[in-house]
């Protein structure tokens, strides 16, 4: 680790392979908390490159259990951190995407910037989160959607996360969560609160082998697509990276302020999620239509976002999305809870 810290002190960049080795060293028991803090802070001061972020992500995925997945599997996990206090947009959208026939390996954790994280609301609804990776893999195959609870998947990250939180400043580890999904995804939608980093992260996903990816930052700098105004997208397709700006009016969707989609406790957000999946029209419903529509387009089931929104509406109104939620609750509870 001394060698890596000296490299950072000289403001030198790491190759992808060097960063993989550095992060593996970071996860060893012999490393002290002060060395972890120095590495995270040094990397932040220097500024991360595409090679370095790819190396970090590759090292963390290598340390996680390996998963097999159906062809066409995607994730729509966001970074959090936008401070909007919104309801669980991507979690709700995941069931709509799965209801449209796209396998979803939903990676997530407890709350980051909202009152209730994806795992908090799913746990309240009765989904068994503490599954072995074999059980999570079986759910993906049988139900078409599974939840990968980050603390179960990335157990070697526990000390790094404790140190990261104690620093009380954002580091690259606040942003890479969605990229560390251990499933070899074909498609990925990533909401980010940092608009300036969308092209860089698109290049990382290109390195990770995504067939198509959409990275987005919503109006008001949300890490979700917003009905408030302009949404900035970076689309990776066929190896090319294209920037787009979309607005709800393009898709005949109503406009609402971001304040209208605030969430609350796990109970509050579970009620919002179920209300949306039951098809009740509200700002929450239309926000999910937009986000799930982008997700369905990302996952290759629609040739355009507009067509994706129509399939999202059908997924909800037919009951398919709600059925995916109920299937996940019922089937996940057939497995014993793993002790973390």
Find, among 276, 235, 225, the residue nearest to 255 by Cα: 225
Mark whether 27 and 110 lie in a shared domain: no
In a domain, 320, yes or no: yes
Average pLDDT over residues 293-303: 98
Annotation-wise, does 224 bind a ligand? yes
Q: How confident is the model at residue 226 (pLDDT cuts 50, 70, 90)?
A: very high
Q: Is 114 annotated as a binding residue?
A: yes
Is residue 230 marked as binding? Answer: no
Whether residues 54 and 78 fall in one domain: no
pLDDT beyond 60 at 211: yes
pLDDT band at 328 (very low <50, low <70, confident <90, very high): very high
**86 annotated ligand binder:** yes
Residue 133 maps to a domain: yes
Q: Which of 10, 33, 63 is the last residue of a domain?
A: 63
What is the reported pTM?
0.95
For residue 317, say whether it is annotated as part of any ligand binding site.
no
78 is in an annotated binding site: yes
Do the annotations mark residue 332 as ligand-binding? no
The pLDDT of 275-303, averaged and rounded, is 98
* For residue 101, pLDDT beyond 80: yes
Tell me the average pLDDT of the chain: 93
Residues 84 and 214 in one domain: yes
User: CATH number for the domain including 31?
Assistant: 1.20.970.10
Q: 89 among the known binding-site residues?
A: yes
Residues 192 and 318 reside in one and the same domain: yes
Is 210 labelled as part of a ligand binding site? no
In a domain, 162, yes or no: no
Distance, in Å, from the CA atom of 340 to the CA atom of 334, rounded to the nearest integer, reads: 18
One-character DSSP codes across 243-287: EEEE-GGGGTPPP--GGGGB--SHHHHHHHHHHHHTT--SHHHHH
Write down the pLDDT at residue 109.
Answer: 75
The answer to whether the annotation marks 11 as part of a ligand binding site is no
Task: Assess whether 34 and 105 both reside in one domain.
Answer: no
129 belongs to a structural domain: yes
**Which whole number is the average pLDDT over 71-83?**
91
Q: Residue 91 annotated as binding?
A: yes
Query: What is the total count of domains within the chain?
Result: 2
Of 41, 63, 85, which residue sits at a domain end? 63
User: What does the pLDDT read at residue 184?
Assistant: 93
Let me know whether 108 and 135 are in one domain.
Answer: yes
Is 88 among the annotated ligand-binding positions? yes
Q: Is the predicted pLDDT of residue 186 greater than 90, yes or no? A: yes
Residue 170 pLDDT level (bands cut at 50, 70, 90): confident
Q: Any known ligand binding at 258?
A: no
Q: Is 81 annotated as a binding residue?
A: yes
Q: Which domain holds residue 25?
A: 1-63
Could you tell me if residue 177 is inside a domain?
no
Mean pLDDT, residues 12-22 taken together: 96
Q: Read off the tokens for 17.
A: 């392979």
């Amino acid at each position: 680790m001394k060698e890596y810290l000296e490299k950072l002190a000289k403001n030198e960049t790491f190759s992808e392979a060097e960063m993989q080795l550095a992060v593996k060293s970071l996860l060893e028991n012999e490393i002290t908390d002060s060395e972890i803090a120095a590495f995270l802070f040094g990397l932040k001061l220097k500024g991360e490159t595409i090679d370095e972020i790819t190396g970090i992500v590759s090292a963390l995925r290598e340390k996680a259990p390996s998963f097999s997945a159906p062809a066409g599997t995607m994730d729509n996990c966001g970074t959090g951190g936008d401070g909007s206090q919104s309801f669980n947009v991507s979690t709700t959208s995941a069931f709509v995407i799965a209801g449209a026939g796209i396998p979803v390996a939903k990676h997530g954790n407890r709350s980051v910037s909202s009152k209730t994280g994806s795992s908090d609301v799913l746990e309240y609804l009765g989904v068994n989160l503490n599954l072995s990776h074999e059980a999570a893999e079986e759910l993906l195959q049988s139900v078409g959607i599974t939840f990968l609870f980050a603390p179960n998947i990335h157990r070697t990250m526990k000390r790094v996360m404790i140190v990261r939180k104690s620093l009380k400043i954002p580091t690259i580890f606040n942003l890479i969560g969605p990229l560390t999904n251990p499933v070899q995804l074909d498609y990925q939608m990533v909401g980010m609160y940092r608009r300036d980093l969308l092209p860089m992260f698109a290049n990382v996903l290109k390195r990770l082998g995504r067939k198509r990816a959409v990275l987005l930052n919503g109006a008001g700098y949300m890490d979700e697509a917003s009905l408030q105004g302009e949404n900035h997208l970076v689309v990776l397709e066929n190896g090319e990276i294209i920037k787009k700006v979309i607005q709800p009016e393009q898709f005949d969707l109503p406009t609402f302020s971001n304040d209208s989609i605030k969430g609350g406790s796990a109970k509050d957000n579970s009620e919002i999620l179920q209300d949306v999946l039951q098809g009740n029209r509200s700002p929450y419903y239309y926000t999910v239509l937009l986000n799930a529509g982008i997700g369905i387009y990302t996952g290759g089931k629609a040739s355009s976002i507009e067509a994706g929104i129509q399939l999202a509406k059908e997924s909800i109104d037919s009951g398919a999305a709600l059925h995916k939620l109920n299937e996940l609750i019922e089937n996940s509870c057939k497995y014993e809870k793993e002790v973390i």
